[in-house]
Amino acid sequence: MAKEPPVYDLVLLLDTQADDERRNEILENVQAAIEKGGEIVSRHDWGVRPTVYEIHKRPDADYHLLQFHGDNALLEQLDHTLKITDGVLRFRIIKLRAGTPPPPDLGTPAAAAASAAASEPSDEA
């Protein structure tokens, strides 16, 4: 019986002071590298959000999550490339365990706040 390949999460925090063109270029390069050496399962663009603490004196970042299948060579290539790419504040590649729930659909911060407010019980009686 064939074993299913592992799914990896790549969380990217991109510099908001880089122009949109540069951030899109970074995402396209990462996506192309993954498609060349593996397969993209899903992509989630979570938009600009404040960080818990400043990273390189930046109070916010442009958050992206890419889930993919790939081998060790792809992981090493992504690790090396993202470490030296200007415009990447932080990144993390995590191997998901079987049965891990899907990521939340955060979309934009305003949409996430609206959905959170809508899901809270009202105190009106």
Of the candidates 31, 97, 91, the one whose C-alpha atom is nearest the C-alpha of residue 63 is 91
Average pLDDT per consecutive 10 residues, the chain (125 residues; last block may be shorter):
82 94 96 94 93 92 95 95 95 90 70 46 47
* Alpha-carbon separation of residue 4 from 1, 7, 70 (angstroms): 9, 9, 11
Find the helix or strand (DSSP H, E) in which 62 lies. strand 58-70
pLDDT at 13: 96
How many residues make up the chain in this entry? 125
